[in-house]
Amino acid sequence: MNISKKYSIGLLAVVMLLASCNETTKKEKMKEENTAASEKTVETSLNEADFDTEIDGKPVKLYWLKNGDLQMAMTNYGGRIVGLWTPDKNGKMTDVIIGRRSTMAYVDGPESYFGATIGRVGNRIAKGKFKVEGKEYSVKPNNNANALHGGENGFQDKVWEANQSNDYTLVLQYTSPDGEEGFPGELDAKVTYSLIDEHTLKIDYEATTDKTTVVNLTNHAYFNLNGEGSGTILDHKMQIFAEEFTPVDEGLIPTGELRKVEGTPFDFTGPHTIGERIDANNEQLKFGGGYDHNFVLGSQRSDGMNQAAKVVGDKSGILMQVYTEEPGVQFYTGNFMASKNALKSGAKDDKRTAFCLETQHFPDAPNHPDFPSIELKPGDTYHTVTEYRFSTE
């Protein structure tokens, strides 16, 4: 070995040593950051005892899910997300979901849908009437002349059997008896809420039936990315990846048309604040009292899913992206919120202080053969996934 070769091997060793030291410090730093992150605690007034109760002889509890900095509180009463905490642009843990302080507050209402798992059929069925295999079924109207979110005592009122399989997963199961709320077939529903990493809430919905039926499950989280009780969501910047939406009549039932969003206040293909056009002179916005419409997804695909929406809280910098296997998303701007419910933060649910992005098949699907079908047959499994991914910008 000549001197220069020896020299270069020596140099290489020093470089490698330095690099590995550097690597160790980097790893240690990351470890420190991770430890610091996992030590982040959420400030909350929630008290487990206020959720501990029994309804219909079944135990109801508050469950905590955690994956690094993403943390979530749920109750098995209605399969509800009670709160969800993620860091804002300054690292402050922020609760981005509207919720209440006790099980009884949810039972007493008046709003029944905060954070709830919705079924058997999300959104409206015209006059509550529909046909399956030629036979007419009827769900008692609970929203003017129409049936909303599975009827009067939909899944939001059921006590789900809960199984927390690890720190970050809650499996909820409910068997809806044949004929419940007027729907045919015994439906076995299983919904898995999981914080799959420290940025992502994944909701995995599954159902089977013993008779042909209809099913369209969703979650009715009300979001405020600046934090629950921080004012309206009108300055949130929203993007919805839909070229079309399904216009409705006065009763918010789709007319059957798929209408281009282009040139209308429904065009969120580029970012707009929610409030920018919400009070525009537009018949559809008048019917909804703001946005309360189903957007047709599929124009943007990622990871085998439809990218539904991307929304940023103007104060917090919290960015939420919604991905789903569903063909539609109901964008609802809390137009019916009326300061009637006290929230966790002590604030009231004032008008437009939250928005919903309910991933779904289109409203009133059973009465529109052109819409993607929500029929489920015995032997088949209904399975669909939606993810809410959080970061900051």
Q: Which is nearer to ligand GLA, 63 or 155 (CB)?
A: 155
Only one of the segments 67-75, 196-204, 235-243, 329-337 lies at the binding site for ligand GLA (rule: CB under 6 A); that segment is 329-337
Q: Which is nearer to ligand GLA, 42 or 253 (CB)?
A: 253
C-alpha dist (Å) from residue 133 to 124, 128, 146, 184, 216: 20, 17, 21, 11, 17
Residues in the chain, overall count:
393
- The residue from 103, 123, 232, 353 that contacts ligand GLA (CB under 6 A) is 123
* Catalytic status, residue 358: yes
- The residue from 93, 231, 336, 391 that contacts ligand GLA (CB under 6 A) is 336
Residue 148 lies near ligand GLA (rule: CB under 6 A): yes
Nearest distance in Å: CB 332, ligand GLA: 4
Residue in the shown chain whose Cβ atom is closest to ligand GLA: 332
The catalytic position among 111, 180, 198, 220 is: 220
Residue 113 lies near ligand GLA (rule: CB under 6 A): yes
Residue 125 lies near ligand GLA (rule: CB under 6 A): no
Nearest distance in Å: CB 133, ligand GLA: 28
Nearest distance in Å: CB 250, ligand GLA: 12
Nearest distance in Å: CB 331, ligand GLA: 9
Nearest distance in Å: CB 152, ligand GLA: 13
Q: Which is nearer to ligand GLA, 111 or 387 (CB)?
A: 111
Residue 356 lies near ligand GLA (rule: CB under 6 A): yes
Map residues 253-292 to x or -, x wherever contact with ligand GLA holds by CB under 6 A. Answer: ---------------------------------------x
Q: Which is nearer to ligand GLA, 123 or 341 (CB)?
A: 123
Nearest distance in Å: CB 235, ligand GLA: 21
SS3 string, the chain, reads: CCHHHHHHHHHHHHHHHHHHHHHHHHHHHHHHHHHHHHHCCCCCCCCHHHCCEEECCEEECEEEEEECCEEEEEECECCEEEEEEEECCCCCEEECECCCCCHHHHHHCCCCCCCCEECCECCEEHHHEEEECCEEEECCCCECCEEECCCCCCHHHCECEEEEEECCEEEEEEEECCCHHHCCCCEEEEEEEEEEECCEEEEEEEEEECCCEECECEECCCECCCCCCCCCCCCCEEEECCCEEECECCCCCECCCCEECCCCCCCCCCCEECCCCCCCCCHHHHHHCCCEEEEECCCCEECCEEEEEEEECCCCCEEEEEEECCCEEEEECCCCCCCCCECCCCCECCCCCCEEEEEECCCCHHHCCCCCCCEECCCCCEEEEEEEEEEEC
* Catalytic status, residue 111: no
Only one of the segments 12-20, 204-212, 241-249, 330-338 lies at the binding site for ligand GLA (rule: CB under 6 A); that segment is 330-338
The catalytic position among 181, 243, 244, 358 is: 358
Catalytic residues: 220, 358
Q: Which residues bind ligand GLA (CB under 6 A)?
A: 113, 123, 148, 252, 292, 330, 332, 336, 356, 358
